[in-house]
Structure 1
Amino acid sequence: MGKTAISRRSLLASTVALALAGMAGPVHAEDFKMGLLVPGSVAEEGWNRIAYDALKRVEKELGAKISYVELPDNPAAFEKAFRDYASHGYQVVLGHGFQFQDAALTTAEDFPDTVFLVSSSYIHEGKVIGLNTDASQPFYLMGVIAAKMGKGAGLVGGMEIPPIAHAFEGFAKGARSVDPDFPVSTVYIGSFTDASAAKEASLSMISQGADFVVPNANAAGLGVIQAAQETGDRLGTFSVYSDYTDVAPKNILGTFIADYGQGIVRIVSGIKDGTIPQSNVDFGLADKDVIKFTFNDAAARSVPEDVRKYVEEVSARIAAGEIETRTK
């Protein structure tokens, strides 16, 4: 559990009165509370840390009272934590990951005054609202770079869930927009924390000819970066969600950062003022305050200027809706 977990607090219950369907009355800052559920530790750089930083921004910028819990990968624990927050009057609870979706839907039936947000989800059912960072868009750019500069790529995912599958679909589409025959292999290691398994999968792909290996596995993704670094400067990779450039400065060609905090503050601010999103929320390259992709000039094989220019043109077309990066 997090050090501010609700089980260690004595909290007063409060409610949000409904004003209209899809609308709630505004809540005074001193009464507004937001809880966070993370699958693991917020001390880890990467996925969980992004959510924690977002929560701290809600506290600072919106004056909210905040709390978080660190949970094992256990659906029963997810539902209990959601119920604990809702029963203590939290107006917003964020489950940080697709795996929280079912527990949010079940809990929401009993707590109509709480808005349940679910990261990496396309859900919109009542007050259960998915907040998805469309990683297929920056991954499409990575695929373009890999096909322009390499001979094959390996993708290492934590689990085969829709957000990761969509990201990898985007990579493959980007690569094959450059070279229809560009080989892309995919492995799911079944864990978001096992860096050793991710490293082993990466080394296997490298031995089979991949000269790009790319992670999407939360903390486990560090194993992919380490494999690239240990194999030599010829291997290319990308930082995903957090900047790991210091781990493999010669291998990381670019970094995809989702300023999830900015997106969360935007959405939660609206909820606090009484407006609940009427659809799921999908952040993409058009949201320049949220999605950022940058190049690493210090890489051994830094992305050439002509490729960078092409990638920027592709990025603009994606943002404009001219290129579909994944199956809807």
Structure 2
Amino acid sequence: MGRRQFITAAGVTGIAGLAGCSGGPSSDATPTDTDGDSGDDSDGGGTETDGGANAATNVGIVYATGGLGDGSFNDQAQQGLQQAESAFDLQTNSLQPQEVSEFASLQQQFASSTDPSYDLISCIGFLQADALGGTATQYPDQDFQIVDSVPTNDDDEQYDNVASYTFREHEGSYLAGTMAGLLTLDSFSAGAGETGSDSTNLGFVGGVESSLIQKFEAGFMAGANAVNTDIDVQTNYTGSFNDPSAGREAASSMYSSGSDIVFHAAGNTGTGVFQAAQEAGKFAIGVDRDQSVTRESYADVILASMVKRVDTAVYSAVEAKVNDSFETGSTTTLGLDDNGVELVLGQQLGGELPDSIVTEVESTRQSIIDGEIDVPSDPSNV
């Protein structure tokens, strides 16, 4: 087993069951057969046809703000759709919003279409929830998927034409915090970064502050504090998932204030975190995809990535729709126990980590799965 896959060895059966047996997302989070950034330059409101004109199943996908090419959340969703295209007879169209205010109109553009008529509309990201509430009500016969949210009506009930897919992000983030906490207490150098044994300071950069992104923060803080209660985690929410300059500024301030390692959950804003890490000669932890691959030019400072299997969520929904087993009004939640989230060591730096830290993180992962560690999902409970 390679060191980069030490955390993903367990739970393969669980993820395979979710993805089906017809070529869905691999349980190995190392995307060695993907090209990372999508390079898609289509604008919000534009429609891109990816499938054949005579496909039996039509799928529309509305991406999160930040768009394709973020090397993170949206690209992971696209990977799931592409894998579904390889497995099934599909026609797919995608829309990329520039602003949150565009979600409703883009969702409705798909829902109102009759040529083609969409069998499934996939909405990527929790910021689509409010718009989807109105769209789902307006189009009660249309099936929707939403990733990262469970929208409810005025009676606090799930919409009966929406299937929700969520994750236990705090579990994977706890592993990131454990690794970072252990490293910041040690003198470690690899690639373009280093830590100092006299440091007890880490950083977290979030995108839009919300209960979802706070799950990343809470898990990271809890994992670090479990190593040593004296470890402080600086936190900054930039308010955007597509502002690398803000990410760079936030992380630079943290590194200047003594942080050895900064973990981001900020989409394309996180690219700026990696830039700041290189400039400061420190380390960073990526999110959603293996960013040492999708942001290869920063691989010399990316220790690991907290991978979130949005690809599995998208693929599973499409597969269920194709097989007439799509369950609306339901929520599927993925965590460490089924490889829905996982910590993947960096392509360049993973092999340099001390064996003792690798072993401790692996042991911690199993303890979470076994229920021996209860990971908080709210920073106020850390």
TM-score of the pair, normalised by structure 2: 0.73
Distance in 1 (CA, whole Å) between partners of 2:346 and 2:43 is 36
Q: Is the 8 A contact 2:70 2:268 kept in 1?
A: yes
1:263 aligns with 2:313: yes
Q: Is the 8 A contact 2:275 2:298 kept in 1?
A: yes
Distance in 2 (CA, whole Å) between partners of 1:153 and 1:44 is 24
1:51 aligns with 2:102: no
Q: Is the 8 A contact 1:251 1:300 kept in 2?
A: no
* 1:164 positional shift: 1.0
* 1:300 positional shift: 9.4
- Structure 1 counterpart of 2:285: 238
* CA 1:202–1:7: 2 relative to 1, 3 Å: closer
Note the 1:49-198 alignment, pairs <5 A.
49-75=75-101, 77-88=102-113, 89-123=117-151, 124-150=158-184, 151-198=200-247
Comparing 63-72 with 264-273, greater Cα deviation is found at 264-273
Q: Is the 8 A contact 1:4 1:67 kept in 2?
A: no
3-state DSSP of counterpart to 1:59: helix
* 1:327 positional shift: 3.4
3-state DSSP of counterpart to 1:193: coil
1:299 aligns with 2:349: yes
TM-score of the pair, normalised by structure 1: 0.84
Q: Which amino acid aligns with 2:205?
A: V
Q: Which amino acid aligns with 2:332?
A: V
- Structure 1 counterpart of 2:13: none
1:286 aligns with 2:311: no
Q: Is the 8 A contact 1:6 1:85 kept in 2?
A: no
3-state DSSP of counterpart to 1:247: helix
* 1:261 positional shift: 2.1
1:310 aligns with 2:324: no
Distance in 2 (CA, whole Å) between partners of 1:70 and 1:146 is 34
3-state DSSP of counterpart to 1:239: strand
3-state DSSP of counterpart to 1:184: strand
Distance in 2 (CA, whole Å) between partners of 1:238 and 1:54 is 23
Q: Which amino acid aligns with 2:357?
A: V
* CA 1:6–1:113: 2 relative to 1, 3 Å: farther
- 1:123-148 Cα distance to aligned partner (Å, 9 max, x none): 44322232223221111001111111
> What is the RMSD computed on CA atoms of the aligned residues?
2.5
1:35 aligns with 2:64: no
* CA 1:298–1:187: 2 relative to 1, 3 Å: same
* CA 1:223–1:137: 2 relative to 1, 3 Å: same
* CA 1:224–1:79: 2 relative to 1, 3 Å: same
Distance in 2 (CA, whole Å) between partners of 1:321 and 1:285 is 11
Q: Which amino acid aligns with 2:165?
A: L
- 1:222-265 Cα distance to aligned partner (Å, 9 max, x none): 11011111111xx2221212333233333222123334223322
- Structure 2 counterpart of 1:253: 303
How many equivalent pairs are there?
A: 305
Question: Higher RCO, 1 or 2 (CA under 8 Å, sep at least 6)?
Answer: 2
Unaligned runs of 5+ in 2: 1-40, 152-157, 185-199
